[in-house]
Amino acid sequence: MFRSTVGSLAALNFARMGHEVELYEYREDLRKQEYYPHGRSINLALSARGRKALAAVGLEQEVLSTAIPMRGRMLHNLRGQTSVVLYDPCHNQCLYSVGRKQINELLLNACDKFPNISCHFEHKLVGANINEGQLEFRLLPEQQPLEVQADLIVGCDGAFSSLRQQLVRTPGFNYSQEYINTGYLELCIPAKHGEFQMPPNYLHIWPRDSFMMIALPNQDKSFTVTLSMPFEKFAEIKTHEQLLDFFRLNFVDTLPLIGQEQLIKDFFKTRPQHLVSIKCQPYHYQDKALILGDAAHAMVPYYGQGMNTGMEDLTLLCSILDQQLPLDVSLAQFTEQRWPDAHAICDLAMYNYVEMRDLTKRLSFRCRKWLDTMLFRLFPTKWVPLYNSVSFSSMPYSQCILNRQWQDRVLGKALNITLFTGALAGIAGAFYIRRFR
């Protein structure tokens, strides 16, 4: 089973190892679609881990050639004034905004070149007997039944994975799904006269404490805009006028860019969508089944690491499979090594939402960012700031958190020493003045 990116990438990796791969997908072949719906997903932000996994199948450069680099965050304040916080002032590393359609087409085209990959679209999974390696499909649109047999079933079928629904019923399978009280809604800043209406090489953020809006550039020179807010706040906006007032107050600079009419149309077209964080463990069942990507670890989209984590699953899995151990041992090893990092990035993604909507505005946050950057410049291998270790390195996610905790302790101590030394100097100074006055 596969759903777009991680599924096709998994197929490519397995095919390169010489396995026969059958890919089953519920939807139709996206390459045949006239109109590809923007869907309900924030654009994909590709960073180091995804790049590494793409490089392993020889596709990194091809993907990057269609992507738009984002060098930092461009913050928009209430008056529409902007300021820039670069992601990596030291080494100029970037995130890349990639179109979901482009990357998936590219991966599917790559799959087509392997004689040992067969793609089956419009196959809906309706049942599975994991123990027997059996999958039961219905072929759309006529619903003919089809039963297939596999040595290993790999589910890359997204946050609401059907295969995971089978695993959830097996004893010992730990699982949690946590919805946050924040809804999101997609808007669009279209291209104007064939050009971007805002500087394209940034991730634009309108941080507003309890809510925020972000915008990522698209290849067609539009921006996909995502408004994230508590559901109660969405519910308060009932009329066109309330919506315009809300935008005049909070996102005044975007009104002429989105256009009032389009804003009203898009805002009231759909209800705000839920966001869920999913953790589970193990990811495998004996040597019979495995889940990867969002099926194994769905996260809120605020670190832009969802796709990168899914792709990195394959980097780890392949390195383990290369050791040629028995399959059940390999899969158990994959679970054991992967879950602490997958859980860590789910937590980090939740934290980054707070950072984006609230902290980025604060002086203390900017001071720390400045200090981190300075230390990073001085000690490029020793002092890697959290954001950089997550987005621009392959440091295990759980290690990124430990690393940050270590940095917090060091800075805490340094602050104490500074205060203590300052206080001592002050006392000594006072004493000196008193003695010699």
List residues binding a copy of itself (CB under 8 A).
Answer: 160, 168-169, 171-179, 273-274, 276
Which CB, 33 or 181, lies closer to a copy of itself? Answer: 181
Query: Cβ of residue 178: shortest distance to a copy of itself, in angstroms?
Result: 5
Residues 6 or more apart whose CB falls under 8 angstroms from that of 241 comprise: none
Counting beta carbons within 10 angstroms of the beta carbon of residue 118, is it exposed (0 to 12), middle (13 to 18) or buried (19 or more)?
middle
Query: Cβ of residue 181: shortest distance to a copy of itself, in angstroms?
Result: 9
Which CB, 279 or 288, lies closer to a copy of itself? Answer: 279
Query: Cβ of residue 326: shortest distance to a copy of itself, in angstroms?
Result: 18
The rounded distance, in Å, linking the Cα atoms of 216 and 414 is 38
Query: Cβ of residue 48: shortest distance to a copy of itself, in angstroms?
Result: 31
Query: Cβ of residue 108: shortest distance to a copy of itself, in angstroms?
Result: 29
8 Å CB contact between 224 and 185: no
Angle at 391 between CA 384 and CA 12, to 5 degrees: 135
Query: Cβ of residue 168: shortest distance to a copy of itself, in angstroms?
Result: 7
The rounded distance, in Å, linking the Cα atoms of 176 and 296 is 11
The rounded distance, in Å, linking the Cα atoms of 6 and 163 is 15
Which CB, 183 or 207, lies closer to a copy of itself? Answer: 183
Query: Cβ of residue 254: shortest distance to a copy of itself, in angstroms?
Result: 27
Mapped onto helix, strand or coil, the DSSP state of residue 315 is helix
Which CB, 181 or 421, lies closer to a copy of itself? Answer: 181
Number of H helices, E strands in the chain: 14, 19
Which CB, 179 or 431, lies closer to a copy of itself? Answer: 179
Q: How far lies 155's CA from each of 12, 25, 52, in Å?
A: 15, 11, 22
Which CB, 179 or 379, lies closer to a copy of itself? Answer: 179
Which CB, 71 or 279, lies closer to a copy of itself? Answer: 279
8 Å CB contact between 189 and 258: yes
Query: Cβ of residue 272: shortest distance to a copy of itself, in angstroms?
Result: 10
Which CB, 49 or 164, lies closer to a copy of itself? Answer: 164
Query: Cβ of residue 275: shortest distance to a copy of itself, in angstroms?
Result: 10
Query: Cβ of residue 36: shortest distance to a copy of itself, in angstroms?
Result: 24
8 Å CB contact between 63 and 364: no
- β-strands 82-86, 72-76 pairing: antiparallel
221 φ/ψ sector (left φ>0, alpha ψ -120 to 50, else beta): left
Which CB, 177 or 416, lies closer to a copy of itself? Answer: 177
Query: Cβ of residue 160: shortest distance to a copy of itself, in angstroms?
Result: 8
Which CB, 174 or 416, lies closer to a copy of itself? Answer: 174
- Concatenating the DSSP letter of every residue in 37-93 gives --TT-PPEEE-HHHHHHHHHTT-HHHHHHT-EEE-EEEEE-TTS-EEEEES-TTT--
Nearest to 194 by CA among 219, 225, 226: 219
8 Å CB contact between 293 and 310: yes
The rounded distance, in Å, linking the Cα atoms of 202 and 55 is 24
Q: At what angle do helices 306-321 and 48-56 cross, to 10 degrees?
A: 40
DSSP label of 195? B
Which CB, 67 or 280, lies closer to a copy of itself? Answer: 280
